[in-house]
Amino acid sequence: MSNEKGKTQNATHATNMIPIYIMGKRYDVPEGLTIMKAMEYAGYQFIRGCGCRGGICGACGTVYRKPGDYKIYTALACQTAVEANMYLTQIPFYPAHHVSGNYQETTEAPEEIHKRYPELFRCVACNACTKICPMDVEVMDAISYVKQGNIEKAAHTSFECIQCGLCTSRCFAEMPQYHILQLARRIYGGRIAPKAKHNAAAVKTIADGKFEAKMQEVMKMNTDELKKAYTEREIEPETAGEDWRPEDVRFLL
């Protein structure tokens, strides 16, 4: 959408317009928009860096400052409302050192992380990573737990991490915190956390072929048949309790 078109709509709906600066250029946008929507209103197209638009994927990292304020702020463009006279720019991806490995051969030992990312011991505990995190993750504490060998605490502390990489952009030790902590969560989930028995039972049910005939039937349907099956399926009522079950329970795990 072009800026001129937006102004025409504004005249009809009497929307309050505010100025923002995108990479140094001023645009007047409707108050109340998110940064992402304001940029699109100004005519920008998100070919990369828009992701989920729901505050989950971390693709829309944004750096901005306010007039008269020395502080550099960070946020997710899809979740943060624009403010008058904010100066902003996008960082859809921040490159960082990533070490690939064979996860099947990875153990629960903390050394698995230490040997892949020895730079984590360069941490000077400045806490810049925590201050820049848009998800309020205690990044420095999580890294400290990794250094101590406490993968469980590192995994729980960094659970809200969305891999935006902004922590890395401010790190004096030049470490990839988000890669390090992702590995910690994977090790915890795959090697340390207790396994859910019902998951194992579900996997066995699938392996035993309970759904194979139905899957083959669905795969042979044409587009119209698939649409009909989808629109006529039994849907759980909004007011249903936790004990609700469909009439046809043949394909429940």
Query: 193-228, pLDDT tens digit by residue?
Result: 998 888 888 999 999 999 999 999 999 999 999 999
Residue-wise burial string across 162-192, b where 16 or more C-beta atoms lie within 10 A, e elsewhere: bebbbbbbbbebebbbbbbbbbbbebbeeee
Q: What does the chain come to in residues?
A: 253
Give residue 81's pLDDT.
95
Give residue 104's pLDDT.
86
Query: 87-137, pLDDT tens digit by residue?
Result: 999 887 788 999 998 888 999 999 999 999 999 999 999 999 999 999 999
Distance separating alpha carbons of residues 106 and 190, to the nearest angstrom: 10
For residue 7, name the pLDDT band (cuts at 50, 70, 90): very low
**250 or 87, which is more confident?**
87
Q: What would the mean pLDDT of 151-160 be, rounded to a whole number?
A: 97
Distance separating alpha carbons of residues 94 and 75, to the nearest angstrom: 14
In CATH, 103-192 is 3.40.50.300:
no
pLDDT at 247 over 60: yes
Give residue 51's pLDDT.
85
pTM: 0.74
Domains of the chain, residue spans: 11-90, 103-192
Give residue 2's pLDDT.
35
Q: What would the mean pLDDT of 51-76 be, rounded to a whole number?
A: 90
Distance separating alpha carbons of residues 244 and 240, to the nearest angstrom: 6
The candidate with the shortest Cα–Cα distance to 17, out of 38, 35, 2, is 38
Give residue 15's pLDDT.
81
Interior angle at CA 131, CA 133 and CA 39, nearest 5 = 50
For residue 158, name the pLDDT band (cuts at 50, 70, 90): very high
- CATH code of the region 11-90: 3.10.20.30
